[in-house]
Amino acid sequence: MLRVLLVTDTDKPIGDLRDALARLGYDMLAEPATPQALHRVVERERPDVIIIDTESPSRDTLEQLAVMNAAAPRPVLMFSPDANQQLIRSAVNAGVTAYLVEGLASERIAPILEVALARFAQEAQLRERLTQAENELAERKLIDRAKRLLMEQQKISEPAAYAMLRKRAMNQSLKLAEVARQIVEATQAPRRHE
């Protein structure tokens, strides 16, 4: 059962939406939150998805979303009658998964929510793969740097330096990148004391 947090900065009642979501089997959290309290409420309540109803996303709302998205990304649906393209881009950049201009019709919310969840999951996989690729590249650079240091210090070839790294890694039961980090740090340590 998905835990849903409603956020609103409008005066219009959203009790109908709350009831419709509850009837569809969603677990509705507390009372609707204000955009200013978004980050705090998300930390406390840990919702699975956030639905924001706004007349027009304010700068404060978008800043709160960006902070929340950096700390604990979640699917965010934003409903607003404001179709300003710059605002929509800003909302998406702040972490909004789906921005809907047509209004908040309770009978349409379930399929919209499912699409937003699927899109968010896909983006999360892409972020994870990007992070993994960045980590692998950083490790590769560290290993190459350690090989160069060994080649200079020991006056050996690149294959010999790589073999030396591998042997140390196996002997110490460490990853190759960790042994490379030790070599680079050990080489930098004397420079720090100079």
Whether 156 maps to a domain, the answer reads yes
Q: What is the number of structural domains in the chain?
A: 2
Q: Quick one: DSSP state of residue 175?
A: -
Identify the domain containing residue 152 by its residue range.
Answer: 132-193
Q: What is the CATH classification number for the domain harbouring 182?
A: 1.10.10.10
Please answer whether residues 165 and 154 qualify as being in contact, where contact means their C-beta atoms are separated by less than 8 angstroms: no
Across-strand partners of 98? 77
Count H helices and E strands in the chain, helices first.
Answer: 7, 5
Domain shared by 97 and 137, yes or no: no
Domain shared by 15 and 99, yes or no: yes
Q: pLDDT tens string for the chain (194 positions)? A: 888 888 887 766 676 777 888 888 888 887 777 778 888 888 888 899 988 888 888 888 899 889 888 888 889 998 888 888 998 999 999 989 888 887 666 667 777 888 888 888 888 899 899 999 999 999 999 999 999 999 999 999 999 999 999 999 999 999 999 999 999 998 886 555 44
Which residues make Cβ contacts (< 8 Å) with residue 154, sequence separation at least 6?
160, 161, 164
Whether 127 maps to a domain, the answer reads no
CA distance 71 to 126: 17
Q: Residue 75's pLDDT is what?
A: 92
Domain shared by 99 and 159, yes or no: no
Instruction: List b or e across 117-148, with b for residues whose CB sees 16 or more CB atoms inside 10 angstroms.
Output: beebeeeeeeeeeeeeeeeeeebeebbeebbe
- Joined together, the tokens standing for residue 87 give 């605002």
Domain shared by 51 and 93, yes or no: yes
Whether 83 maps to a domain, the answer reads yes
Which residues make Cβ contacts (< 8 Å) with residue 188, sequence separation at least 6?
none
Model pTM greater than 0.75? no
